[in-house]
Amino acid sequence: MYRSWGDDSLYIYGAGIGVTYSADPNVTIQYSASLPEYFAPAAVYATARSMGPDPNVNINYNLSWILPVDAGFFYLARLHFCEIQYPITKLNQRVFDIFLNNQTAYEGADVIAWSLGIGKPVYEDYVVATSGSGLMDLWVALHPDRKSKPEYFDAILNGMEIFKLQDSNNNLAGPNPDLPPQADVEPDKILNKKNGSKSWTTPVIVGAVVGGVALIGLCFLALVLCRGKKSKGKDGSATDGPSGWLPLSLYGNSHSAVSAKTNTTGSYTSSLPSNLCRHFSFAEIEAATNKFDEALLLGVGGFGKVYRGEFEDGTMVAIKRGNPMSEQGVHEFQTEIEMLSKLRHRHLVSLIGYCEDDREMILVYDYMSRGTLREHLYRTQEPPLPWKQRLEICIGAARGLHYLHTGAKHTIIHRDVKTTNILLDEKWIAKVSDFGLSKTGPTLDNTHVSTVVKGSFGYLDPEYFRRQQLTEKSDVYSFGVVLFEVLCARPALNTALPKEQVSLAEWALHCQKKGILDQMVDPYLKGKIYPQCFKKFAETAEKCVSDQGIDRPATGDVLWNLEFALQLQESAEESGSLAANGTSDVENPATVIDGKRDGDDPSMVTRTTTTTSTSTVSIGGRSIISEDSEGLTPSAVFSQIMNPEGR
């Protein structure tokens, strides 16, 4: 059928990539009369991707692929299966469900039941209808089937083909692609200079076009995408594969193409404000990083490696160099520049500039000497942070998010709030970073933005995942997970724990409702958190991770509650409610963070009221007796401070 087969890793969604493997040496691919060899080569059936060996992890995620297609057509999805490794040799050992575009295509798929043996290929065809116009994403997802109670909670796929079907007018034409700007493009930057040829370098074309092939009564005039598996190196990485990147100015969907202003001579100029975002040459970047010396490596993320750099004037910077084979590419690079170049806030990382020379995609930020928040919580050699400092960091991050949601010209939804994207400068000021997945929020006439689900497992809003409807409450959910992380000093996902404890958000919510959240608290913090502060913080985190977005607070309310929790902690420390050794001066020191509702104790309310009324109360850096108070008493302005049960 004149089709080629390529690696599927470029289309895997998110961090849940599963595992790849080849057939056991004793397994031979056995074709049959009903499935001749030309349906797919043996190399396709002799390699596979499954979810992995841990059932506790597998049951909590989908193994998903996202494929770009033209909307408005029917597509035939042909999925190739073959069990190729022992011990999967009999029925009901590996059973899974198949989903196409979030619709159930098949429940209880059992490859052995279909093929009647190990090493015997089989395929399944499904037709998917799409609507609308332009490009869209076609989702293919697999998930273990619980109903059949299989021996292994796992799923498998050996290969996949997507056929585009002509419409009622026998038409296969999609929309014409946007043409990239041709002016000001130097020939030597487009010519392939590696081999000295004059051929043009173009983005990788995924798929092939075929015609005149009759198959099962349907005429497929275009094969949009043909996919299988590619051999892996010993380290598990792909053994080859060309770069999918070109200079940003050559992409039709780049800021240069979309936002550029064309002058009368045909050249274009970037719409990015030059006074806020500087364009660096690659030579400047190399000089600042000593040619990307690994000794200066700060970390590795989804976009690429991050290096510490220093320019000639002594300015310290963090330089993020994009990896061409990364799942994050041109769009994330463009989004980061367009978002951050227009935003300036004390609690947002500042973008200094970027570089797109010589096929590079590099972003230059302010250097944050303390690193990420996660580096100071767990799996680290850094000393543990005091509780008050953790509160201040959470408040700073909340202020950054609040600005994104309400203070910018348009609502901006971050979409990837997590402890590795909250950075700390030398003064421990928290700053939100990494805007590659950010999205402009809904207008006044809409309640949400419909978009493909993106984010990080463990922090992903379940409502957004189910409905693909993004709101600022999705950020609130992710921030709630961050709050629990700060309190408990454990990862958002920990697959080494029992099944019910793998997800921090779910387990913390369970413990909070049972009144035993104190058992999860970072041991370093035992006896160092004032009871009312703990209660307010825990309640805030609990509301943030509510299953429904409508039940979650706005970021402004989250910020207020965190500032109030900090005030309670400071008041207790100043009044001596917390002794110098970190224990409470109440009769039972264990009740500092024992999860009991001490606020229901009248004596506790009395102590809180007395302490607060005789001290200066400051929220968000301003005294309550300020120009906004208009002479009102503290109890009239901040009744919640006088009575923690209020508001």
The pLDDT of 144-173, averaged and rounded, is: 90
Give me the pLDDT at residue 469, please: 82
116 alpha-carbon distance from chain centroid: 40
Q: How far apart are CA 146 and CA 153, in angstroms?
A: 8
Contact 513, 452 (CB under 8 A): no
- Domain definitions of the chain by residue range: 9-227, 250-261+268-366, 371-604
Q: Which of 45-59, 252-266, 592-606 has the highest mean pLDDT?
A: 45-59
User: Who wins on pLDDT, 567 or 34?
Assistant: 567
The pLDDT of 573-578, averaged and rounded, is: 78
Q: HSE on the CB side for 382, CA within 13 Å? A: 15
Q: Residue 235 carries which DSSP code? A: T
The CATH number, out of the four listed (2.60.40.3880, 2.40.50.140, 3.90.1150.10, 3.30.200.20), of the domain defined by the range 250-261+268-366: 3.30.200.20
Residue 438 has pLDDT above 60, yes or no: yes
pLDDT digits (tens, 9 = 90+) for 395-430: 999 999 998 888 777 788 888 899 999 999 999 999
Q: Report long-range pairs for 249-254 (Cβ below 8 Å, ≥24 apart).
A: 249/180, 249/181, 249/184, 249/185, 249/356, 250/180, 250/181, 250/185, 250/190, 251/180, 251/330, 251/334, 252/177, 252/178, 252/179, 252/180, 253/178, 253/330, 253/331, 253/334, 254/330, 254/334
Q: Does domain 9-227 have CATH number 2.60.120?
A: yes
The pLDDT of 621-634, averaged and rounded, is: 34
- What single letter denotes the amino acid at residue 183? A
The pLDDT of 295-309, averaged and rounded, is: 83
Output the CATH code of domain 371-604. 1.10.510.10
pTM, entire model? 0.51
Q: How confident is the model at residue 34 (pLDDT cuts 50, 70, 90)?
A: confident
Q: How far apart are CA 242 and CA 244, in angstroms?
A: 6
Residue 238 has pLDDT above 50, yes or no: no
Q: How confident is the model at residue 193 (pLDDT cuts 50, 70, 90)?
A: very low
Question: What percent of the chain shows pLDDT beyond 70?
Answer: 68
Residue 41 has pLDDT above 80, yes or no: yes
User: Who wins on pLDDT, 437 or 188?
Assistant: 437
Contact 114, 122 (CB under 8 A): yes
Contact 552, 464 (CB under 8 A): no
Q: How confident is the model at residue 374 (pLDDT cuts 50, 70, 90)?
A: very high
What is the gyration radius of the CA atoms in the chain, in angstroms?
A: 28
The pLDDT of 50-74, averaged and rounded, is: 90
Residue 264 has pLDDT above 50, yes or no: no
**Which of 8, 97, 154, 416 is labelled catalytic?**
416
Give me the pLDDT at residue 452, please: 63
Q: How confident is the model at residue 521 (pLDDT cuts 50, 70, 90)?
A: very high
Cα dihedral value 469, 475, 479, 481, nearest 10: 20
The pLDDT of 461-465, averaged and rounded, is: 87
DSSP string, 13-81: -SS---EEEE--TT-----BTTB-GGGS-HHHHTEEEE--S-HHHHTT--EEEEEEEETTSEEEEEEEE
The pLDDT of 108-121, averaged and rounded, is: 94
Residue with tokens 């990788």: 204
Helix 602-613 and helix 531-544, axial crossing angle in degrees, nearest 10: 100
Q: Could you tell me the two tokens for 68?
A: 């770009």
Task: Give the closest residue to 193 by CA, choosing from 59, 358, 50.
Answer: 358
The pLDDT of 91-116, averaged and rounded, is: 93
Give me the pLDDT at residue 625, please: 33
Judge whether 416 counts as a catalytic residue: yes
Helix 555-575 and helix 531-544, axial crossing angle in degrees, nearest 10: 170
521 alpha-carbon distance from chain centroid: 26
The per-residue pLDDT of the chain, averaged, comes to 74
∠ CA 550-553-558, rounded to 5°: 165
320 is in an annotated binding site: yes
Show the DSSP H helices in 294-386 as ranges.
330-340
Residue 584 has pLDDT above 70, yes or no: no
